[in-house]
Amino acid sequence: MASPTLQGFPPIIASGAQILILGNMPGVASLRAQQYYAHPRNAFWHVTGELFRFDPTAPYDDRVTALGAAGVAVWDVLQSCRRVGSLDSAVERESMVANNFDALFTAHPTIAHVCFNGAAAEKNYRKLVAVDREPRYSRLPSTSPAHTLRFQDKLAAWRAAVTG
């Protein structure tokens, strides 16, 4: 029996975005809620709230608006894939379909910095995506609860890359 085919989300992006944060593929909790980084133990909203000075517990639409106001976009490398559960290691490699980054970068030419939320996002982007332009790239520690680095260490690494 084949794993279910999962579909990602459209990007969170506002005009003038300068930073693009890329995950790999939304997890089960996010897909269920239809919200990026919905798992309660994922540190994404706490990290970005700290960096861009907004309440990480605010309603989802308010957090999305705050990121846009800070010039930050969010998307995933994968448009679709097959996977059981939430772990990136469970993605069936032959099923991966990347999002259209040429179209995104053409529509949003102000994006100058792509930040990978974890190693899988970087690995799959470099494997599946070919783009004509070269923004700055940074791999950051995953905000996933499966990545057991302490919150303060994740925050420090994100701060150095994103605001440094």
Q: Residue 65 — pLDDT band, cuts 50, 70, 90?
A: very high
In contact, 120 and 144? CB cutoff 8 Å: no
Note the pLDDT tens digit of each residue in 7-23.
999 999 999 999 999 99
Taking the C-alpha atoms of residue 112 and residue 35, their distance in angstroms, rounded to an integer, is: 25
pLDDT, mean of residues 77-96: 81
Rounded-to-integer distance, Cα 78 and Cα 80, Å: 5
Confidence of residue 46 (pLDDT cuts 50, 70, 90): very high
pLDDT above 80 for 1: no
Determine the distance from the C-alpha atom of residue 34 to the mean position of all C-alpha atoms in its chain, rounded to a whole number: 14
pLDDT for residue 5 is more than 60:
yes
Q: How many CA atoms lie within 13 A of 150 on its CB side?
A: 3
